[in-house]
Amino acid sequence: MERLPVTGVVLAGGASRRMGRNKAFLELAGRPLVAHVLDRMTEVCEEVLIVANDVPRYAGLGVRVVPDVFPGVGVLGGLHAGLQAARHDLILVVGCDMPFLNPALLRAFAAWAEGYDVAALRQGEQVETLHAAYRRTCLPAMEAAIRAGQRRIISFFPHVRVRYIPPEEAERLDPGLRSFRNVNTPEEWEEILRILGQIYR
């Protein structure tokens, strides 16, 4: 299947405090977790890049690595840096610790973003801001939010066109919505390894 004219952005700037070590380099089938994430993104996106402030640490992974333009702003800063650095107008953003990425669902998010600035899953009041699509038109609103001291990604949503995807729509492609699952603690990683052991034998 042809890759889409979009940029895949992998955010790798988190402190991994609860994990106790860098989540991107957790080992899965002899390779770092982030390498598996890059594989999935490369299946879908013409361009893939990593946002990380420790640029040399990620330099050997075969994709461009860009640092935050606004350091210390958390995930919103990483999202902004990825969108600004992207060669394409639309980006698909995921975390470096999402082992169940589903290329079909990633493609769907790119399609759902047609005519919108953002396409994101919403479950009740919870918006999944990673594993979502963002357009370059978001940059002015993002920068305004950052300069106003707002750190939540959704802080700029009122100023752009957002398409909220209902869970049942995403579940048609990703039963159980496993794509949105990430790793935060050693216990979660052990559980994920048990599940992935059936895939990466």
Question: Which domains are seen in the chain, by residue range?
Answer: 4-196 (3.90.550.10)
pLDDT for 106: 98
More confident residue, 16 or 34: 34
Q: At what angle do helices 75-85 and 139-147 cross, to 10 degrees?
A: 150
Please check the confidence at residue 14 and state whether its pLDDT lies above 90. Answer: no
- Read off the pLDDT of each residue in 116-123 and give the average, rounded to a whole number: 98
One-character DSSP codes across 141-161: HHHHHHHTT---GGGGGGGS-
Whether 128 and 181 have beta carbons less than 8 Å apart is answered as no
- pLDDT band per the 50, 70, 90 thresholds, residue 16: low
Outline where DSSP puts E strands in the chain: 4-11, 27-28, 31-32, 45-51, 64-66, 90-95, 118-123, 126-135, 162-165
pLDDT for 201: 47
pLDDT 10s digits, 51-84: 999 999 999 999 999 999 999 899 999 999 999 9
Look at strands 45-51 and 4-11 and give their pairing: parallel
